[in-house]
């Protein structure tokens, strides 16, 4: 049977995949300057952004904005004296504010980030960056033109576990990669505006974009919707050159919470269980070697089963590191590893997954 490969978006050629995403590097020497920021959105995730910004010397929160009065009451109770507003135009107009954090639902990211950039503010935008690749490209172009920074909140890239995994890939410990296989399932939280693909998979897709040096070639996704018209379970396969294959299982209908990733390489294999409090990563010296014997059917398969160990994983809160890095990128004019282009790559994968899902697993070329 021949398989139809359909191109996902015609924007793919416009912003090409760069070579390897740079690895996280410690912030430069502490800058004495304090940056001023406004935060839009104080729902579920906004309080985590505000808590971390508030704790960092490099940031001063000028105001928190939410159009929901009860959200503003919560913010005022948590941070007495902090300015709040229900109109984000107040943040745009403020000449004190150098950056804006957009922590609102996905469908609002483009409009709010665009307005912030147009008013000369750097932006920190929640994942997924935008609802379409075309929107992401427009924001990237706007930020470039105005010499402003975009950082997309790909939080996991700043976790100790992902930073360790990236090191293990880069220093050759794992060898050449065979596969990346992650499971991110739990019961709910059902989103009203997006499917489980756009809600949970950005985490895994941003991680595999960061960890795998090769650039993806095609996506296949299957899944189903059972309750609110949006897919609540999805199995996404991403094909890379050199037979590397990635698989992401996201599900809002799971009775238990699972956050496990397997990464197999020619030299070592690892299991990352993010729910483990201490030994989150275990590295297995296991592998398979196949050599040809005398005859054509005479394959010799040998299995290696050596030591297992758990490397030290830094425990610093990922968001704290990320927001510190954001200020560093602005002050020292560095391009963030999770810049708009990284956000765009994830949005392209999400669009491809959604297209494939609608086609019941049709292959979508990138």
Ligand X SMILES: NC(=O)c1ccc[n+]([C@@H]2O[C@H](COP(=O)([O-])OP(=O)(O)OC[C@H]3O[C@@H](n4cnc5c(N)ncnc54)[C@H](O)[C@@H]3O)[C@@H](O)[C@H]2O)c1
Q: Which chain residues interact with ligand X by CB under 6 A?
A: 40-46, 65-68, 71, 88, 103-106, 108, 126-127, 153, 155
Would you say how long the chain is, in residues?
Answer: 366
Q: Dihedral of CA 328/341/220/187: which sign?
A: positive
Which ranges of 20-159 would DSSP assign to H, the alpha helix? 46-55, 69-78, 89-93, 106-118, 133-146
Q: Which residue number, 45 or 79, has a Cβ lying nearer to ligand X?
A: 45
Residue 286: both structure tokens together: 């296991």
Measure the CA–CA gap between 125 and 53, rounded to whole angstroms.
14
The least CB distance from residue 307 to ligand X, in Å, is 34
Non-local (6+) Cβ contacts of 23 within 8 A are 163, 166, 167, 170, 337
The least CB distance from residue 113 to ligand X, in Å, is 11
Distances 96 to 52, 53, 121 between C-alpha atoms, Å: 20, 16, 10
Residue nearest ligand X (C-beta atom): 43
The least CB distance from residue 167 to ligand X, in Å, is 22
- Going by C-alpha positions, the residue among 242, 182, 231, 173 that lies closest to residue 208 is 182
Q: Which residue number, 244 or 327, has a Cβ lying nearer to ligand X?
A: 327
Q: Which residue number, 112 or 174, has a Cβ lying nearer to ligand X?
A: 112
The least CB distance from residue 346 to ligand X, in Å, is 12
Q: Which residue number, 131 or 327, has a Cβ lying nearer to ligand X?
A: 131
Q: Which residue number, 118 or 285, has a Cβ lying nearer to ligand X?
A: 118
Measure the CA–CA gap between 160 and 300, rounded to whole angstroms.
39
The least CB distance from residue 344 to ligand X, in Å, is 16
> How far from the centroid of its chain's Cα atoms is residue 172's Cα?
23
- Going by C-alpha positions, the residue among 190, 183, 196, 191 that lies closest to residue 257 is 183
The least CB distance from residue 63 to ligand X, in Å, is 11
Q: Which residue number, 74 or 149, has a Cβ lying nearer to ligand X?
A: 74
């Amino acid at each position: 049977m021949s398989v139809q490969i359909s191109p996902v978006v015609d924007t793919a050629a416009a912003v090409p995949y760069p070579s390897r995403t740079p690895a996280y590097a410690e912030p430069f020497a502490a800058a004495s300057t304090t940056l001023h920021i406004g935060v839009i959105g104080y729902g579920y995730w906004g309080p985590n952004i505000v808590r971390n910004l508030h704790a960092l010397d490099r940031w001063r929160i000028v105001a928190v904005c939410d159009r929901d009065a009860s959200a503003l009451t919560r913010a005022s109770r948590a941070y007495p004296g902090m300015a709040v507003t229900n109109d984000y135009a107040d943040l745009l107009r403020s000449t004190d504010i150098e950056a804006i954090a957009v922590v609102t639902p996905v469908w609002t990211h483009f409009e709010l980030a665009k307005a912030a950039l147009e008013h000369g503010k750097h932006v920190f935008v929640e994942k997924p960056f935008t609802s379409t690749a075309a929107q992401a490209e427009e924001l990237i172009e706007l930020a470039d033109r105005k010499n402003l920074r975009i950082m997309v909140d790909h939080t996991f890239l700043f976790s100790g576990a992902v930073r360790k995994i990236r090191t293990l890939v880069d220093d050759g410990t794992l060898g050449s990669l065979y596969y990346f296989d992650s499971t991110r399932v739990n019961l709910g939280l059902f989103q009203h505006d997006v499917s489980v693909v756009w809600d949970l998979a950005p985490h895994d897709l941003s991680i595999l974009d960061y960890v795998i040096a090769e650039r993806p070639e095609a996506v296949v996704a299957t899944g189903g919707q059972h309750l609110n018209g949006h897919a609540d379970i999805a199995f996404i396969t991403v094909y890379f050159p050199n037979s590397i294959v990635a698989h992401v299982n996201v599900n809002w209908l799971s009775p238990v919470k699972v956050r496990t990733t397997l990464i197999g390489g020619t030299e070592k294999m690892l299991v990352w269980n993010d729910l483990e409090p201490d030994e989150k990563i275990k590295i297995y010296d296991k592998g398979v070697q196949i050599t040809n014997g005398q005859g054509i059917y005479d394959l010799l398969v040998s299995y290696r089963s050596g030591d297992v160990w758990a490397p030290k994983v830094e425990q610093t809160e990922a968001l704290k590191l990320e927001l510190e890095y954001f200020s560093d990128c602005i002050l020292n004019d560095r391009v963030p590893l999770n810049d708009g282009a990284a956000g765009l790559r994830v949005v392209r994968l999400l669009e491809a997954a959604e297209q494939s899902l609608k086609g019941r697993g049709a292959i979508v070329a990138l």
